[in-house]
Amino acid sequence: MGELTLRSWPFPDNQEVELVWFGSPFLDYKNNWRIRVAFRTSIGELKILSYPWGTIPYLRLGQVYTNGVYDQIKPLRGSAYKITIDRLDQAVLLNGFNLPKRLMDFGKNPELGLQKIIQFQSNGITFSIPVIESCVQARYAGV
């Protein structure tokens, strides 16, 4: 994938920020689909930005961005797991406010905390995955 620079970029030059959460897709005033994303600075400040829907392949949870660009060589933050979901029908559809505060604190911000998540267990570990497509939300909500 070629290099893409995210604009607008409200952070100081050369400041590293981590993409930590996807919000819900929405239509802007021009009827274009956009996605809200939350970046966290090194001091823990969250900033919510929105980008065109087409930037989703470039947006990765745990990726560190500087000046609107990510370093393709620098590893993602966090831990990588390979999991098998044996019983997705036992997964629960919740909202982000149900995440443990130590994992993610949304500061009571409804743009982030009301985002749907699918929560399931595998080998005694609870996983929570943000849901960013309305059709997926409807399917897991039993619609």
pLDDT in tens, 88-104: 788 888 888 888 777 77
Looking at residue 61, its amino acid is L
- Give 12-67 as a 3 state SS string: CCCCEEEEEEEEEEEECCCCCEEEEEEEECCCCCEEEEEEEHHHHHHCCCCCEEEC
Q: pTM here?
A: 0.74
C-alpha dihedral sign at 139, 62, 64, 75: negative
- H helices then E strands: how many in the chain? 2, 8
Q: What percent of the chain has pLDDT over 90?
A: 22
Residue 58 φ then ψ, to 5°: -90, -15
